[in-house]
């Protein structure tokens, strides 16, 4: 026992002497990885086995292929096809796995506090010592302080998808009861999605496809006319972090499919049978409305987990309310150097966007052979700058929608060009709005891969090191470059045709898009097992339609 809370310390794990390899690893530096999601799995797939004594701690013993989760809610894919046993992945990396939840970290003692429920059903805590700790715990759903969220469904985990599937089926069955009134039937068949981001939009599209393609075959035809799907979005557009063309395409698609999109609307309260929201009309006046509903999905962005909040509270320099801040080497700011890293949705990299932007401007002036301070930027040039900014910082797209408006607004002297100072101010304004990299699997995967490669280098740089001897200090900088995010395009699935955004090359609609979308995800998919399961699900659906049952 020991540490600040005098808990048992897990110096040895059950399988430390399982085989000669494990015995050899026992004295290697202890690498503890939290979470079994995109970030953590990417590390495990990159790490050289045997350089570290690796332990993965996660409350779930599977990896979830989240981009396909919306498809599982309506039976396009089977739930089982989207998960992969984490123990398989861990054992390939010659690591150890503990199905438990990390609850706290003692940063100076390098002890991780872990909670687990024992055979008697009691919660017990212990310390797991580490030399290096990686936080890859993801994020939780953001409640935005709205009342009545117990009446909503969420879509984060496999269990959520199961609950949604059951609820949708239950509503359809209830709608067929002779005792159900017409009004009640319409309510049961009113599906509301709160949040116009990719998850909400994909779910709405999947739901709509299912209702259109499979409902008529097994349910009374009359239901089709009474079904309604609504998307409530606080901003002016759905998919507002994507390219404007893509969000327009999605909106047009929904308009055609009669999926109602309520923009500039904020949910006030969710009751058992209706949802209350306020909507800004064209004159900027706010009116309160209500919508009867039989099902509500809450998908309005992410918030910090309890563990991350606790860690942020312990460290003075961690002041960001949304995520843990790291330096460009992904080291947690304020923790002993080289001992704690944070990746994926739980983290954000402090990247001086403003510096990059000024650099952009200077190189642009240089290309034109002009003095940057005296440069006057015309509208086409400004469009070019904006394009480059969007490419480098995709999360800026939302702030660069109305290029003409911005130009007008910052052209203070109204001479039709932006002076260097005017442009600089504009970019600074955008910089202040950019807080983080996008919360995507793509980013988590890149960060995990980066960290895996760096950990391999570190092991080479300090060979033969054993646990407790290691003081990495600022070795990170010496052995490996800083993390750089590469935006590979965002994908959203809109009603049987994908919306595709690849490095500014927008591409949307049609069957081609569907295949493109599927092949991209096949390639990203982690194992042959998953690939085969998904292919079987798709073929089954193509041949027989979706299973309309719980």
* Cα 491 off chain centre by: 12
The residue (of 29 and 67) whose beta carbon lies closer to ligand FAD is 67
Q: Is 206 in the site for ligand FAD (CB under 6 A)?
A: no
Residue-by-residue DSSP string for 271-323: -SSEEEEEEE-TTS-EEEEEEE-SEEEE---EE--HHHHHHHHH-TT---SSS
Query: Out of Mg ion, ligand FAD, none, which partner does residue 458 contact, by CB within 5 to 8 A per kind?
Result: none
Nearest partner of 26 among 46, 55, 61, judged by Cα: 55
**CB 346 to ligand FAD: min, Å:** 6
Q: 242 or 341, CB closer to Mg ion?
A: 341
305 counts as binding ligand FAD under rule CB under 6 A? yes
**Among 31, 44, 47, 67, which residue interacts with ligand FAD (rule: CB under 6 A)?**
67
Q: Does 241 bind ligand FAD (CB under 6 A)?
A: no
Q: Report the nearest approach of ligand FAD to the CB of residue 79 (Å).
A: 13
- φ, ψ at 467 (rounded to 5°): -55, 150
DSSP state of 15: T
| Cβ distance to ligand FAD smaller for residue 47 or 102 | 102
Nearer to Mg ion, 411 or 431 (CB): 411
User: Is residue 37 within the footprint of ligand FAD (CB under 6 A)?
Assistant: yes
290, 276 in Cβ contact below 8 A?
Answer: yes
Question: How distant is the alpha carbon of residue 535 from its chain centre?
Answer: 24
Stretch that binds ligand FAD, among 126-134, 429-437, 438-446, 470-478 (CB under 6 A): 438-446
Alpha carbon 408 to its chain's center:
35
Instruction: Spell 478-488 as b/e; 16+ CB within 10 A means b.
Output: ebbeebebebb
- The whole-angstrom separation of Cα 191 and Cα 321 is 32
| Most distant CA pair in the chain, distance | 79
Q: Phi and psi of 296, rounded to 5°?
A: -135, 125
Task: Choose one: 67-75, 244-252, 350-358, 395-403; the region binding ligand FAD (CB under 6 A).
Answer: 67-75
Distance of CA 444 to the CA centre of its chain: 8
Task: Find the shortest distance in angstroms from Cβ 538 to Mg ion.
Answer: 22
Alpha helices in 121-157 (DSSP H): none
Query: Among residues 64 and 455, whose Cβ is nearest to Mg ion?
Result: 64
Shortest gap between Cβ of 438 and ligand FAD (angstroms)?
A: 8
- Cβ atoms of residues 223 and 231 within 8 Å: no
Binding flag, residue 35, ligand FAD (CB under 6 A): yes
Pairing of strands 140-141, 302-303: antiparallel
Least Å distance between CB 300 and Mg ion? 19
Nearer to ligand FAD, 134 or 426 (CB): 134
CB of 448 to Mg ion, least distance (A): 7
Among 31, 33, 44, 69, binds ligand FAD (CB under 6 A): 69
Cα distance between residue 76 and residue 514, in whole Å:
14
Q: Cβ 307 to Mg ion, closest distance in Å?
A: 12
Count of all residues that appear for the chain in the document: 550
- Tell me the two tokens of residue 222: 């009359």
Q: Among residue numbers 478 through 517, which ones bind ligand FAD (CB under 6 A)?
A: 491
Sheet of strand 30-34, all strands in order from the earlier edge strand to the far edge:
96-99, 53-58, 30-34, 132-135, 340-342
Return the residue of 38, 191, 208, 341 that touches ligand FAD, per CB under 6 A: 38
Adjacent-strand bridge partners of 153: 297
Residue 242 sits at the vertex; the CA angle it makes with 438 and 263, to the nearest 5 degrees, is 110
Nearer to Mg ion by Cβ, of 247 and 440: the residue is: 440
Give which of ligand FAD, Mg ion, none residue 57 binds (C-beta under 5 to 8 Å, depending on kind): ligand FAD
- In the list 71, 442, 446, 497, the residue contacting ligand FAD (rule: CB under 6 A) is 442
The answer to whether 46 touches 484, Cβ cutoff 8 Å, is no
CB nearer ligand FAD, residue 197 or residue 338? 197
Can you tell me which of 32, 51, 53, 66 binds ligand FAD, judged by CB under 6 A? 66
CB of 39 vs Mg ion, minimal distance in Å: 4
> Per CB under 6 A, does 82 bind ligand FAD?
no
Judged by CB under 6 A, the chain residues 103 through 142 that form the site for ligand FAD are: 136-138
Q: Does 57 bind ligand FAD (CB under 6 A)?
A: yes
Which residue lies nearer to ligand FAD by CB, 13 or 475?
13
Distance CA 67, CA 60 (A): 18
Q: How far is the CB of 40 from ligand FAD (least distance, A)?
A: 6
Among 31, 32, 47, 58, binds ligand FAD (CB under 6 A): 58
503-515 per-residue burial string, b: 16 or more CB within 10 A, e: under 16: eeebbbeeeebee
Under the binding rule (CB under 6 A), the answer on residue 439 touching ligand FAD is yes
User: To the nearest whole angstrom, how small is the minimum distance from the Cβ of residue 54 to Mg ion?
Assistant: 14
- Sorted by sequence, the CB contacts under 8 Å of residue 14 that are 6+ apart come out as none
SS3 507: strand
Report residue 497 as tokens: 């045709």
| Contacts with Mg ion, residue ranges (CB under 5 A) | 35, 37, 39-40, 64, 136, 312, 318, 411, 413, 415
Q: Is 199 in the site for ligand FAD (CB under 6 A)?
A: yes
* Terminal CA-CA length for the chain: 48
Note whether 239 and 246 are within 8 A (CB).
yes
Residue 415 binding: pick among Mg ion, ligand FAD, none (C-beta 5-8 Å cut-off by kind)? Mg ion
Residues found near ligand FAD in the complex (CB under 6 A): 34-40, 57-60, 66-67, 69-70, 101-102, 136-138, 155-156, 198-199, 305, 307, 344-346, 439-442, 444, 491
């Amino acid at each position: 026992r020991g540490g600040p809370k005098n808990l048992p310390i897990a110096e040895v794990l059950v399988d430390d002497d399982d085989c000669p390899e494990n015995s050899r690893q026992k004295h290697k530096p202890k690498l503890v990885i939290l979470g079994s999601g995109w970030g953590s799995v990417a590390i495990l797939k990159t790490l050289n086995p045997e350089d570290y004594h690796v332990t993965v701690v996660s409350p779930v013993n599977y990896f979830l292929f989240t981009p396909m989760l919306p498809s599982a809610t309506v039976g396009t894919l089977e739930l089982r096809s989207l998960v992969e046993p984490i123990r398989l992945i861990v054992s390939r990396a010659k690591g150890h796995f503990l199905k438990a939840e990390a609850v706290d970290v003692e940063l100076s003692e390098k002890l991780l506090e872990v909670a687990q429920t024992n055979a008697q059903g009691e919660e017990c805590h212990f310390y797991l010592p580490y030399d290096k700790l990686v936080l890859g715990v993801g994020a939780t759903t953001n409640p935005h302080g709205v009342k009545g969220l117990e009446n909503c469904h969420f879509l984060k985990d496999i269990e959520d998808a199961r609950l949604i599937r059951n609820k949708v089926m239950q509503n359809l069955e209830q709608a067929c009861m002779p005792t159900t009134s017409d009004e009640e039937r319409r309510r049961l068949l009113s599906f509301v999605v709160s949040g116009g981001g990719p998850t909400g939009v994909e779910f709405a599209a999947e739901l709509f496809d299912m209702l259109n393609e499979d409902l008529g075959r097994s349910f009374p035809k009359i239901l089709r006319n009474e079904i309604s799907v609504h998307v409530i979005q606080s901003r002016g557009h759905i998919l507002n972090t994507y390219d404007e063309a893509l969000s327009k395409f999605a909106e047009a698609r929904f308009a055609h499919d009669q999926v109602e999109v309520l923009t500039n609307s904020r949910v006030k309260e969710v009751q058992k049978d209706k949802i209350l929201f306020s909507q800004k009309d064209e004159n900027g006046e706010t009116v309160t409305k209500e919508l009867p509903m039989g099902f509500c999905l809450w998908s309005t962005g992410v918030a910090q987990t309890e563990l991350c909040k606790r860690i942020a509270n312990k460290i003075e320099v961690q002041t960001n309310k949304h995520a843990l801040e790291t330096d460009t080497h992904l080291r947690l700011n304020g923790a002993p150097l080289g001992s704690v890293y944070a990746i994926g949705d739980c983290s954000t990299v402090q990247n001086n966007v403003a510096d990059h932007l000024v650099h952009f401007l200077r190189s642009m002036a240089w290309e034109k052979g002009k003095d940057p301070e005296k440069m006057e930027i015309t509208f086409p040039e400004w469009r070019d700058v904006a394009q480059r900014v969007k490419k480098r910082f995709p999360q800026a797209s939302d702030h660069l929608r109305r290029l003409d408006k911005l130009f007008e607004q910052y052209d203070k002297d109204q001479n039709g060009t932006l002076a260097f100072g005017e442009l600089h101010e504009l970019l600074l304004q955008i910089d202040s709005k950019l807080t983080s990299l996008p919360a995507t699997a793509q980013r988590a995967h890149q960060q995990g891969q980066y960290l895996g490669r760096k950990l391999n280098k570190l092991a080479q740089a300090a060979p033969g090191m054993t646990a407790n001897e290691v003081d990495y200090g600022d070795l990170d900088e010496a052995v490996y470059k800083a993390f750089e995010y590469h935006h590979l395009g965002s994908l959203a699935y809109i009603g049987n045709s994908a919306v595709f955004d690849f490095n500014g090359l927008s591409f949307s609609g049609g069957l081609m898009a569907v295949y493109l979308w599927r092949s991209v995800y096949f390639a990203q998919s982690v194992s042959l097992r998953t690939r085969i399961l998904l292919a079987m699900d798709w073929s089954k659906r193509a041949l027989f339609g979706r299973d309309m049952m719980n």
